[in-house]
Structure 1
Amino acid sequence: MRISVLSLHTSPAAQPGQGDAGGMNVYVDQSVRALAAAGHVVDVFTADPGVIEGLGGRERLGESVDTLQVSENVRLHQLPIDAASKDELADALDELALLLLAQPAFTSADLIWAHYWISAEAALRAQELSAQELRAQEISPQAVDAAGSSERPRIVVSMHTIGAVKNRDSETSHERPQRLQAEERIASAVDLIVANTPAERRDLIHELGADAGVVVVARPGVDHELFSPGDRVEARGELGLDPNEFIVLYVGRMQFIKGTDIVVDAISGLRENNPHLASQTRGILLGAVSGQAAPAGSSPYLRDLASAITAEPSIEVRRPVPAHELVTYYRAADILLAPSRSESFGLVAAEASGPGLPPIATAVGGMPDKVEHRHSGVLIADHNPRHWAMALERMLLDDDLRRELSIHAADRSARFDWAATVAMVLGDLGVPDLALAATMVPADELDLTTGLVGRRC
């Protein structure tokens, strides 16, 4: 089967942890690999500028489309569009649709898998423009309908985040009305919506009005060959870290929605509660500013965050690293902090658990799907820095607890498999070659009101 994967606002070749690149980039990369391994031919389309440059192996298709032959069954296409940010790309959806329609690899696809609302909206507009062209050729309405039903590729969409949910969970109204309206339209128009967890499925149905019959739960996977346990002392030696200090790790973009400020406040709170323990603890923020960011001083959040980091002597910021280096940080650390204010899945927590790094995470969205409270990690129901500092102190002081959580975290991570992810999606569409491969064990849903620190979000 020929599959067109749309990841228009950010490329799977981009480095996660900075700009607009995060867990979704990993998702697209790994799911495409799984599709190709199953024998499907995959064309990935992005409008992320400059990502293909310098990668080599390019060819020029059409007017100015750069294409990278990633593997025998995978090609990455960069669409030429003058948009420097995600918002600018969202304002150029009709142009994106026309660019897609000009690509034979897109128009000949049997299936379109769109990631994020911008990609899904562009795919829907491309289909509308194609239907309008048939009508303009004075083809009968019956023939247009027949062509649409028999030849139109089905559209699958993974939202990854939902604007209304981000506003709800963060108690803000930061998401653009354009996005909120588009996501409701997408939910009613596409053939299948992929939810990362049962919690996201409920949000798609209740917040966007999606038909329950077109929403399938397919949990993202983990590359277990890479994210596996390793020697902690050796990992710390590679990273230049003291073998005798505690390492508290944060991985991801620095932004309000990811709760980077909570990490800094928790470590500062640890210093107030237990100065001796804080003196033995190093906090590492592995990430960079989110979005097409202006200098930190021009953003109140980033300005305050930078001041807080500067004021806390035990915190250092390191650049985002590729996955083969990231696993070394997971092996070296004692605790992962994942204080997201909204999270559809929480891929970092799942990957970190593979090497046995136990997380302290917010009990929000899909996070309880990966973190079993007091079994494979700790869930906190709010963002009160005092609660985070207390949980951090308790875990650092209890070696037996960390050891037990580490063992169960690795077991929990083993449940998530990329082959099973794509099998669940294609199996729901009736694609026979992968339908039988959906063997991932469903993660139990947790009662978020039971035994958590603080108040429920």
Structure 2
Amino acid sequence: MRVLMLSWEYPPVVVGGLGRHVHALSTALAAAGHEVTVVTRHGGDAPLDEVRDGVRIVRAPADPPLFPFATETLLAFTMSLNHALTRAALRVCAEQEYDVVHGHDWLVTHAAVTLKHHLRVPLVATVHATEAGRHSGWLPAELNRCIHSVEWWLAYEARRVLVCSGYMRWEVSRLFELPAGKVRVIPNGVDPAAFRVTPRQVRAAREEYAGDGPLVVYAGRLVYEKGVQDLIAATPALRRRFPGLRVVVAGEGKYADELAAEVTRRRLGRTVRFAGFLPTEPARAGEPSLPALFAAADCAVVPSRYEPFGMVALEAAAAGAPLAVSATGGLAEFVEPGTTGVTFPPKDPAGLADAVSTVLRDEVLARRLSRRARALVIDRYSWPAIAARTVEAYEQAGRDERALRAAGTADGPVPPITVPDGNLLRDGSA
């Protein structure tokens, strides 16, 4: 199978879980013998065209006009990105034929749809999250409605829509009015070997981040829907229960300044530490890494208010951290309370504090939870198995594409997109 994959982030440009997902999937596909080319945006001093881990990576430099990745310029940034991705991909397509185009999320929609029709091959789309889902079913402003319409278009043009959980299958089917057979659940995965660390690395992480009490860790993007504000709100109660407690927040994002201000307002500066982005593999020996931080943690917290899957929970479990997660979205499908972790209601700092306390007070329970969660990761969430299921989706999409082209209906007009008012996930208006 010859796969042309489009993603707005790919190492070394990693913003969140999407970039790590695309990297792991593409390398697993390559390891299984498939030809994979990833077209992505350029960043840092990475090569414009290279083969790494069996995957060809083509990085498109940004166009000269300055469109920052910020809310007020997001659509302009996205349009500019898609122009650059399309030009880079067309150059690649002049050298090689492809069997499928695989686009990841709405930010690459224009390039993905253009290439689908130019190459006359099926488009498979992975929807990692939705704009309505990020806003609890609402589209509060014109920007949100525009993004929703692009997501709708991507889902319409795709022959198969891939999602990471049963919850997301319900969400995208409802939002984009998709037939049941078009949406396929293929979970995110993790490479357990990448999160295995030595006792020395664990000791170093404890010395760097822990105090005299337990160590609680959050890792992920610093955005509203990840619920870090709820962890900060729960920290005073946790500190009273566990003297010497330390909370480490690892990650970057647009909500960082507000979170830091909240820590200051609550006078938690000695308890909460912002560690910034931590790589899975540090550039130099002895530098902090995410696996070492997780392995050193007495509890890893995933307090998301909206979470299609929660790959960071898999990563923390692979490193051996006991889990406390909000019972929402895909997290509720991975973490079974009392078996692979503990759960609490989203948006509930008191419930979060009680769940974390349950883990911190019972070392035997914590060890049992982490052991069972890690075993589940190894058994169900390996990337080779996920890559094989993705290839099956490619093959199904190819059969559909051939049938539609034989019938002369593969390139019909797209119906007008309407965006209803109200809560699209609750009031039945979607």
Give the superposition deviation at 1:237.
Answer: 2.8
Query: Which residue matches 1:423?
Result: 388
Q: Which residue of 1 aligns with 2:421?
A: none
- Counterpart of 1:374 in structure 2 is 338
Give how far 1:244 is off: 5.5
The offset of 1:111, in angstroms, is 1.1
Deviations 1:389-425 (A, max 9, x none): 1222232112222122111111222220111112112
The CA distance in 2 between the partners of 1:238 and 1:284, in whole Å, is 11
What is the match of residue 106 of structure 2?
117
**Is contact 1:205-1:212 (8 Å) kept?**
yes
Rounded to whole Å, the distance in 1 between the matches of 2:158 and 2:23 is 22
Match for 2:204 among 237, 241, 255? 237
**What SS does the aligned partner of 1:176 have?**
helix
Matched, 1:68 2:61: no
RMSD: 2.7
Does structure 1 retain, via aligned residues, the 8 Å contact 2:26–2:55? no
Report deviation, 1:381.
Answer: 1.9
Preserved contact between residue 189 and residue 381 of structure 2 (Cα < 8 Å): yes
Cα distance in 1 for partners of 2:361, 2:391 equals: 46
Alignment of 1:90-109 (within 5 A): 90-92=78-80, 95-96=83-84, 98-100=86-88, 102-105=90-93, 108-109=97-98
Q: Secondary structure at the match of 1:114?
A: strand
Instruction: Please tell me the residue identity of whatever aligns with 2:319.
Output: P
Distance 1:308 1:126 in 2: 50
**2:68 corresponds to:** 84
Long gaps (5+) in structure 1: 16-20, 59-65, 131-150, 432-457
Aligned to 1:102, what secondary structure does the other structure show? helix
The equivalences for 1:157-172 within 5 A come to: 157-168=125-136
| Separation in 1, partners of 2:349, 2:191 | 32
CA–CA separation in structure 2 for the residues paired with 1:45 and 1:337: 33
- Cross-structure match for 2:23: 29
Q: TM-score, normalised by structure 2?
A: 0.81
Provide closer, same or farther for how the CA distance between residues 75 and 172 of structure 1 changes in structure 2, counting only shifts above 3 A: closer
Q: SS of the counterpart of 2:184?
A: strand
Amino acid of the residue matched to residue 285 of structure 1? V
1:98-123 deviations in Å (ceiling 9; x for gaps) = 52563233773221111111213321
Maintained 8 Å contact 1:346/1:367: yes
Query: Post-superposition shift, 1:125?
Result: 3.4
The answer to whether the Cα contact below 8 Å between 1:268 and 1:312 also exists between their aligned partners in 2 is: no
Aligned-partner Cα distance in 1 for 2:84–2:351: 46
The percentage of counterpart residues that share the same residue type is 24
Superimposed CA distance per residue, residues 201-242 of structure 1 (whole angstroms, 9 cap, x where no aligned partner): 1111112212211211111111011224754x7512355245
Quote the offset at 1:259 in angstroms.
Answer: 1.0
Separation in structure 2 between the aligned mates of residue 12 and residue 93 of structure 1, nearest angstrom: 17
CA distance in 1, matches of 2:152, 2:359: 42
SS in 2 for 1:39: coil
Distance apart, 1:76 and its partner CA: 3.0
Per the TM alignment, residue 380 of structure 1 is displaced from its structure 2 partner at its CA by 1.3
Note the C-alpha offset of 1:50: 2.3
Which runs of no fewer than 5 residues in structure 2 stay unpaired? 282-288, 397-430
**Residues 110 and 381 of structure 1, relative CA distance in 2, 3 Å threshold:** same
User: Aligned residues, how many?
Assistant: 380
- Give, in angstroms, the shift of residue 430 of structure 1: 2.7
Tell me the alpha carbon deviations over residues 121-162 of structure 1, each in whole angstroms, 9 at most, x when there is no partner: 32113445x4xxxxxxxxxxxxxxxxxxxx612111111111
User: Over residues 264-285 of structure 1, what are the superposed CA-to-partner deviations in whole Å (9 max), with x where a residue is unaligned?
Assistant: 111122234x2xx1x2211111
Map of 1:50 onto structure 2: 43
- 2:233 matched to 1:265? yes
Partner residue of 2:11? 12
Distance 1:12 1:237, change over 3 A: closer
1:30 partner amino acid: A
Match of 1:434 in 2: none
SS of the equivalent of 1:45 reads: strand
1:193 to 161, 177, 192: 161
